[in-house]
Structure 1
Amino acid sequence: MAEKRPKIFEGSRDIFLSLVVSGIIMVLAVSFTGMCSFNTGTPENGQVPEVDASTFMSMEARSMSDHATRLPATPEGWVTNSARRTMVDDTPASVVGYVTTDGGYIQMTQTGENVADAVAGYDDRWRDPASTYDLNGQEISIYSSTEDEVRDLRVMDLGDERVIVTGAATDEEFNELLTAVAESDPLPTN
């Protein structure tokens, strides 16, 4: 006597084949759009995307009425890889990101808020400055987070703006950027 299979398995082969064909059609359709790519290398081997910081910061300088905006001359080999506007304590602020020659990353925020409001508005995880140091006549305050995995903030008050930098870079790289900002003139506002 032949064994009867339950009805649930009767069409399973057809369903499986339909899913395989649908998957192949989907992969082919997406690959022809050119919107996807496949790179077997690691991210470290890829090229860093570059943005035009000069144009972005010029537009920001013309639109910021409460503070100066500066475009620092960055060291050779650094790549500006991001630029955006954000809010710091409910006021607009300019943010530019840099990839350094050695693969470090620094994010610089320029704001018109006073130091206490800028730090609190940036993120409420930082407490009073852990330390300060002099950098070519400018006082740099380092704010440490209450959470170990959160990176420190370095804050410089230039009078007409506050500059906040953070990221994964060496002390020398942070200081290079802060020095370049302090030595830059504010961009024209008209």
Structure 2
Amino acid sequence: MSEGAAAKQDHIVTAALGVFCRHGYRRTSMDLIARAARMSRPAVYQYFGGKEEIFRAAGEKLVADIVTGARAVWGSGDSVADRLYGMLAIKLDLVAGSVEARLRAELLAEAREVAGDVVLALEEGCTAVVEAALEAASDELDLVGHAIPAHDAAAVLVASLAGIAQQEAPPEVLHTRLRQLVDLTVRGLTSRTPAPAMP
């Protein structure tokens, strides 16, 4: 694919992302996507076979952007709690900052139905990045003394974030809840009292 064609596809995906966030998957039409991209419908079809293909491409772009952004945040010199919060806030900002509160749960359900593998890749990518961050902070956290491995702690954080992001609350409230979740997690992982073994 030529550079020009790749740039056009990226332009369409970026424009479509805003439309999906405002209207949801089902209420988004190729006409709305074409208008947002300032192109004709036939021109959009030159680059994508339809709405589902654009939706999947938008999801794949988000996965890459979120994982890359989370890795960059981890490299900052802040505390473990600040870095974990920053990593997870990237995903929260995507949802809370661009999707209307009333559409959040609906759009996630549609995404799971239309592009479940992309949603799974996002969850796995986020979990892997958070897991690596927890393992890298093992000198500050007491993962060895706890019955919960870094992967499981990361999976709990990412799953909890999904629940927070779907709530119909203003972004600042969601950010407060995320900060509280991270602080509780880090506090729990830095206590030197071993946690009870899981059944």
Does the alignment reach a TM-score above 0.5?
Answer: no
Q: More relative contact order in 1 or in 2 (CA 8 Å, sep 6+)? A: 2
Question: Quick check: which one's helix share is greater?
Answer: 2
Greater Cα radius of gyration, structure 1 or 2: 1
Question: Quick check: which one's strand share is greater?
Answer: 1
Report the TM range for the smaller structure's normalisation: under 0.3
Tell me the TM-score normalized by structure 2: 0.22
Tell me the TM-score normalized by structure 1: 0.23
